[in-house]
Each structure stands twice: as C-alpha cells, then as structure tokens.
Amino acid sequence: MALPAEGFLLEYAPGRLVVGAGPLDPRPCRSASALACYAPDFFLADARPWLHPAAWRETTRDALRDALGRARPPRVVWEAPDAAGYSARFATLMDRIRAGTLSKAVPVILERGTWQVPADDAVRGLVRHALEASGPSFIYAAWTATSGMVGASPEVLFVREDPGRVESVAMAGTYPDARAADLAGDPKEAREHASVVDDIVTALGPVGTVSVGAREILRLPGMAHLKTDIAVTVTAPVDFGTIVRALHPTAALGVAPRAAGLDLLASLGPADRGRFGAPFGIEWPDGRAHVVVAIRNVQWTGRTVTLGAGAGIIAESLLEREWEELRLKRTAVKDMLGL
C-alpha cells in the first residue's frame, strides 16, 4: 500500500516527498514538536488548518511511482464552465480597474464534474499520473475517505531552509508552450508579471533585505510562464504565520493593490473554491518550511469534482483572451492528472 487511506503528501524538493498518514489531527496551530501539513482554504477562514499525521515518512518520486504501480485515475464527466457568469465578473472588475480602485484582480472559475464510477481510491491514480507528467512542479495532496485534493504546482509561496532566509517566487504571465519564445516580448504579460514582483517585494520588505533575481521563462507541459525568484535576508526572527499573512495571496491570485481587500473576490465567487490558490505546505519541528500555492489541482467531495483556474485581469485584458487562458490552464491540469 503506497498511500494511506487518509493523509497528505508534498514534494518539498525535486524528487523528494513527505507522506503523512492518518488519522489526521486538525489543530489551530502546529504542535511545536511535530511535523504538520498546513492546508487552509483560500480565504484562511479554516479554524484548524494544521493537519497532524499519526505517522510520516520521506520517500522519493521514483519509489512512490514504483509503489503505486499501474494505478489510474477514474474518469470524470465534465460540465461546461459558466461563461456568462465569468463574463459578468470580468465586466465588474474592468469597471473597478477603469475607475482606478484596482490595478489587477484574479477571478476564478470552477469547472465541475462527476466521477463516472465511485472514486474510493482516486488519489492513487491521480498522484501516479502526476508523477509522470508534472514537469518542474511540486506534487501535493491531502485526502480523507470522502474528499481530497491532488495537484502539482510550479508556484512556491515560500521556502525557509534556515531562520535567516526566506525565498519566494513571482509567477505570472501565461502563453501556450508552443509560443513560449514570444512571452517575454508581450507588454501585457510583462506588466502583469511586474505587478506580482512588486507586490511580493513590498510584502517582504518589513521582514528584511529583499533581493530580486532575473526574469525567466518557465516551460511546463502545455504552457509557459514568466518567473522571477525573490529572497529576503531576515533581520529578526519571523514565524510561519507571519510569512503566510505577508505573502498570501500575492497579486498572482488576489487583487492589487492589496488595500482593495479580498472581499470583492469573495463576493464575486465561486463560493466553493475551497483550497484552490491557498497556501499548502509543511513545517518541520526545526522551523524549516516549504509552502506551495495550491494551483493546478482537482478537488472532490464524494463523486463531485471541481477544477479551478484563474487569470489576471489588468487594464489591457480582453475577455476572449482571458477565457482562452483559463481553458488552456484547465486542459493542462486534465492532461497532467489523466482526466
């Protein structure tokens, strides 16, 4: 049995994973002496986001792939996403941008579906497929007997390997992989990416001295993104919760300026986005931490499946182009997870 009936996993470094086995004990804070998984909802409203496993182990990508054997994800019957609802949200946000109260916002759509057969062991097949197809991304999952989430995220919220340094990544700007070479020259995508870089730099400024790396193009199966590494040399001890609250959500998934708040996105919905876009990570007892942004995933409760996608809207955005980007992102997730 490669995976427990209830648990979590996270690839915290290329090819290295932590697997936690249930029963999971959810608590408001991490026990100081224990490894735990931080798995809140996007709006951080969960009163007990820390999942403490009964046991945990480290493994490798290759070992987990071998242990899962030929597991396959169950088929999903998908419904068409709500184009009219997204169009209305797009118009509302563009009005705010033109009025000057927003410079960027990231509305989310959910494509819904149903497992075609009971998905009692869906996590095994989804993880097995992700191990083959995730590319330069970190596989992550959390599940119980009736619900779960599996994904592979290329976006790191933060990594802390020692108390004096916190590393993050700005990732925004999307093109189909076949046109990756054109991405850096697109002024709309470059401006969207720059707004995310500025947002993270501003958020980390109070923590210490910030350094910004060179902008790169990250190529993933089916798409490419602009990516910039950002690090901060910490001037005073800073705890896990402080870093999360400083960074989440970055402009890649929230609103800019941050002062505009997330109430607008919450009011626009969807109400059942769950953990899509939320922080998801692990903190070790010694304070080391690895936290990804929970994108490129599917979530399910019973036989109902949801697949989220978001695209940043700025002044130059066009409805048809954003809708196509959302389709591209959802298609990449389906391909990656065998759905």
Per-residue burial over 283-318, b if 16 or more Cβ lie within 10 Å, else e, is beeeeebbbbbbbbbbbbeebebbbbbbbbbbeebe
The mean-pLDDT minimum among 8-12, 90-94, 265-269 falls in: 265-269
143: pLDDT strictly greater than 60: yes
Of 82, 225, 73, whose CA–CA distance to 150 is shortest? 73
7 in Cβ contact with 57 (< 8 Å): no
Mean pLDDT of 269-288: 94
Name the pLDDT band for 223 (thresholds 50, 70, 90): confident
Confidence bin at 144 (pLDDT 50/70/90): very high
- Domain chopping of the chain, boundaries: 7-337
For position 119, what pLDDT does the model report?
80
User: Is 117 a residue whose pLDDT tops 90?
Assistant: no
In the prediction, which pLDDT does 173 show?
83
Q: Average model confidence (pLDDT) for the chain? A: 93
One CATH from 1.10.1510.10, 3.10.105.10, 3.60.120.10, 1.10.10.10 for 7-337: 3.60.120.10
**Structure token digits, residue 246:** 């400083």
Express as a percent the part of the chain with pLDDT over 70: 99
Q: Is the model's pLDDT at 265 over the cut of 90?
A: no
pTM of structure:
0.94
pLDDT, greater one: 243 or 221:
243
- Please, what's the largest Cα pairwise distance for the chain? 56
